[in-house]
Structure 1
C-alpha cells in the first residue's frame, strides 16, 4: 500500500509540475498557444492518471501474488511440521510401550527370583530348625546319659571306697599275724639250719629267681605259640564281622542315562529345525543326545556323570517350559550347572550328617559332595568312601582305637581324586596336603597320605584305613578296571585338544570315537580350523593308543549379539 501511495503522490507531483510548466509556457505564449497548452495539459493529466492507475494495479496484484505465495509456503511448512510431530509422537509411544513391556517382564523375573529366594530361605529355616531340634534332643539325651553314668559311678566309687577300707583293715591284721609267724619260724630255722636270717633269705631269693625265670620262659613260649595260632583267626574274625555289619550295595554306573518323555512329539521339538536345538544342547553340555526309535525315551551318552546329570536336568526344564531354542538352551544349561553346584554341597552335608562327622571344613564338604559324581574303577567314589568310613569305625571300635578319627580318615582318604589342584601328585599325597591345609588331626592326615604306602605310617589308624580301602574295593562286583582305563583315555583325549591355542571347549563323545572341538571364531579362521583338526589328529596318533579311529570335528561358530533399548 505504501508503494501505491508513493506512486500516486509522484503522479500528483508530476501533475503539479506539469501544470506549473504549462502555465509558465502559457504565460509566454498565452495568446498563441492557449488552446494547445490546455489540450496538452489535459492529455498529460489523463496520461498521469492512467499511469498511476496502472502502477497501482500492478503493485496491488504483486502484493496479492506475494501474499498468496507466502500463505502457500506457510501451509506447506505447517503440514510438514505436523507430519514430523505425528511421526515423533508415534515413535515415542512405541518406545514407551516397549519400555513398559520390558519393565513388566523385568518385574515378573524379579518376582520369580524373589519367590525362589524366599522359598529357599524357608527351606533353610526349616532345615535349621530341624537340625537345632535334633541337636537339642541329642544334647538332652547325652546329658541324661552323663547324669545316669555319673550317678552309677558315684555309687560304685562309694562301694569301692568302703571295700578298700575293709581290705586295708584285713590286710593290716593279716600282715601283723604273718609278721609274728615269720618271726617265730625265722627263729626256729636259724636254730635248725645254723644260718642267719639274711643268709637264708639270700639263698631263698636266688632259688626263687631261677625257678621264676624257668617258668617265665616256658610261659612266654606257650603264649607266643598260642598267639601265633589264634592271631590270624582273630584278625579274620574281626574283618569278617566288620564286613558283615557294613554290607553295602554295589551298583556299577555306566555311561548312559535315559530321559523319559510323555510322547514322541517332544522329540521333534528337542531336535529343532535342521537339528539346531540338539546341536546347541550337545555343544553346551558336552554329551551325545541320541534320539532314535525307542518309544518315549531319549538316550544321553557321556563318560562324565556331571555332564550327563546337567543334560538330563536341562532337558527336563526345557520340556517342561516348552520354549526350546539355542539361546534358551544355553540359559537353562548355565542355570542347571549352578543348581548342580548347590546340590553338591547338599550331598556333602547330608553325608557327614549321616556318618555323624562334625566340624568338617566347608571346602572338604564340597569335595565330599563332588565324589558323588566321580567313579573309581567303575565304583562310585562317594559310596566307596562311605563304606570305608563305616568299616574303619567298626574295626576301630573292635580294636579300642579312636572311632571318630578312623571314620573321618575313611571318608576323606580319596578326596585327592576330586581335586583340580596339582593333578601330577598322587591322589593320596594330594589328599593329605588338603587335609593338612584345612586343619585336620595329624592322625587323619597321616592315614590319608599313607593308605597307598606312599609315606611312612605313624598313626595307629593308618593301616586300618589301608585295610578297609582294600576290603571295599575287593568286594565282588565293586570295581571294573576297564571302566577306569576307558575314562582316563577319554579325559586324556580332551586334554590333548585343550592344549591347542584358540580352543574354548572340547568333548569326547560316541565312546571316544569322536572329538568335538569348539574354537574361538574371532581368533581362529576357517583355514586355521581345518589345520587345527589335522594337528590334533596327528598329536593324538603320536601320544595315545586306542582301537579303531577317532573323528576330530572342529566347530567354528560366529555370533553377533546386540541389544535394542
Structure 2
C-alpha cells in the first residue's frame, strides 16, 4: 500500500504539471490570437486610410494634367490659326503671281510671233540681197565664201609666221644667254692637250745597219715580229728609221715598244722577239688596266666591271680626229658633270654615261655597227644601268635619248669636239663635208645657190624672190636645217643665212 502511494505521488505531480502547462499555453495562444486580430484590424484601417489618400492624390494629379493639356491645346490652336492665316495669305500671293505669269506668257507668245515674222522678213531680204550681190559680183555664194576663206587663211598664215618668228627670236635671245653662260663657265675650266691622229709610228735606229738585223736572214725576224704583233713594218730608204703601220693602236704600241727594246738590246732573233713581244704585251695590258683605273679614280667613279675598266683603258691608245679618246672621254665627263649641276640633272649618272660614251671605239673585235651601238652592247654586258646604255647609244642620235642626262652627254660631246683646236680633219673629209652641205641646200625648190663658208660653220643660201615670199623664208630655213641634221654628222653647229633680195638693173643709153 505504501509502495503504491509512493509511486502515485510522482505521477500525479507530472500530470498536474502537464495540465498547468497546457492551460498556460492555451492562455498564451488566446492572447496571441487576440493580439494578431488587433494588429490585423489596425493594418486594415491604415490600408484603407492610405487608399483614400492615394485616390485623392491621383484625382488631384489627373486634374492638374487635364488643365495642363487644355492649356497646351489652346496654345496649339492659336499657332494653327496663325499658320492658317499665313498659308491663306501665301495662297493669295501665289494666285496673284500666277495671274501675272499668265499675262507675261501671253506677252512673250505675242513677241515670239512677231519675232518669227520679223525673221521671215529678214530672211527674205537677205535672200534678195544675196541674189543681188551674186548678180553684181558675178560670183556664187560658195565661190565668195571660198575666196574669203582663202584670204583669211593667207592672212592667218602670215600673222602666225610673224608671231612664230617673234616668239623664236625672244626664246633664242633668252636661250642663247643662258646657254652661253653655261658653256663659257664649263669650257673655261677645261684646257686639254691634243695629240696627232696617225696610224703609223716611227722607231729611230742607231744606224742603217740595224735595218738588216731587223729583217734577219731571209726575212725571218721581220716576219716573226709582224706575225706576233699583227702590224706592218715598213723598211724603206728613210735614214735611221723604221715605220710601223697598223689601225689597231694597241697592237701598234706593242710593236713599237718591242722593236725599241730589241734595237736597244741588240739581240734580234725569233725566240728573243717572241719573248720581248710577250713581255711588252703583258706590260701594255697592265698599262691599259692602270689607265682605266686612273680615269675612274680621277673622276670619282666606282663599281666598274673589270672588263669595263680594260675597255676604258684601251681608249688611252686610241685617237680620233687628232684627239685622244680617253682624254676626250674624261673631258666630256667633266663637262657633263658641270652642265648637269647647272640644270639640276643627275650629276653622277651624267658623268658615268659621258665617260663611257665612246667605249665602243676601244672594242677588240671588228663589227659592222658604229661605235655608239657597239659601246651600248658592251655597257649592257658590263651590267651598266639602262639609262647609261641609252645615253651611249644616243650620243650620235642613232636613237632617241630617254633621259635628260642622255641629252647632256650629246651636248658635252659636241662641246669637247667642237672647241677650237680639239680636232683635225683630213683635207678630203673637209672638202667632202662642204660639198654635202651645199648639195643639201640646193636640192630645195626656190634655192638658187648655196655657199659653205667659215670652214663649214656657216651656210649662205641665195633664195629666188619670185618663188619664195618673205613669209616662207623662215620655214624654208628650218626645213634645210632639219635635212642637214638628218643627213650629216658634224661637230658643233652650222649657221644658216638666208638671202632674198630684188635687184633691178637698167641702162640709160
TM-score, scaled to structure 1: 0.42
**TM-score, normalised to structure 2's length?**
0.46
Greater gyration radius: 2
